[in-house]
Amino acid sequence: MQLPGRETRLAEPPCSEMPALVQALAPALRPHLDRPFALLGHSLGALVAFELARELRRQQAPPPVHLFVLGHSAPHIAAGCAPVHRLPDDEFVAEVRRMGGTPDEVLAHAELRALMLPILRADFALSEGYRYADAPPLACPITALGGLADEHVSRERLQGWQMQTSATFSLHMLPGGHFFLHSARPLVLELVARQLAPHLAVA
C-alpha cells in the first residue's frame, strides 16, 4: 500500500492518526479483495496491517488469509519509548539516524531532509499516538518475524502477537537488526512464500 505523503502521493499530507488511516484504507482496498490476500507490515506497518485487518472485520469485508507482522511489539504491549515526533529538527534527525533505515545521504541533504522530515514526523506521531483497544482475536493465522540484533523489539514482545489470533501463530527470529527485512530479504521471502503456498495453489 502506498500511503499519503509517499512516492506518487508525495503532494498529499501524511496521515498521523491510526483510526483515520485504516478507515480510509479499508474501502480503497475492498474492490481488490475478490481473491485470497495476505497483509504484511514492518515496524509501524505491522500496526497498520493489524488495525486494517480489524477494520476490514468491522466492515464485514473478506478477511486476510494470513497476517505477517515484522519488527514490532504486539499491539497490546506498551512501547515504553519517549515521544520524539515533536523534538527540534536536530534532535529529531539524530533520533532517526540512531534508529537507522533512512539513508544518511537523505538526512544530510538540506532539501531532501526538508521534504522527508514532515513524513517521518507523521510516522512517529502515528506510532506514538496509537492506542490499543481490546477486541476479539483475529481469525487468520499470524506470523511474527524479528531481527536477532534488534535493540527495539525483543523476542518476548513479538511473542505477544500470539494473543491476537484464534488461529495458528508462528515466530521467527532472523539475522539482522530492526531492518532485517532488507538484510535478510531472501529468508523473509522464503518464510512468506511457505506460509502462503497452500493459498497460491488454489488461487
- Per-residue H/E/C for 46-95: HHHHHHHHHHHHHCCCCCCCEEEEECCCCCCCCCCCCCCCCCCHHHHHHH
16 among known catalytic residues: no
Question: In 156-177, which positions are buried (b, 16+ CB within 10 angstroms) versus exposed (e)?
Answer: ebbbbbeebbeeebebebbebb
The helix/strand/coil state of 144 is strand
Among residues 16, 43, 73, 127, the one annotated as catalytic is 43
Q: What is the Cα Rg of the chain in Å? A: 17
- The answer to whether the CB of 75 falls within 8 A of the CB of 54 is no
What's the Cα-to-Cα distance from 178 to each of 29, 60, 70, 153, 203, rounded to whole Å? 28, 34, 9, 8, 33
Give phi and psi for 124, each to the nearest 5.
-65, -40
Active-site residues, by number, are 43
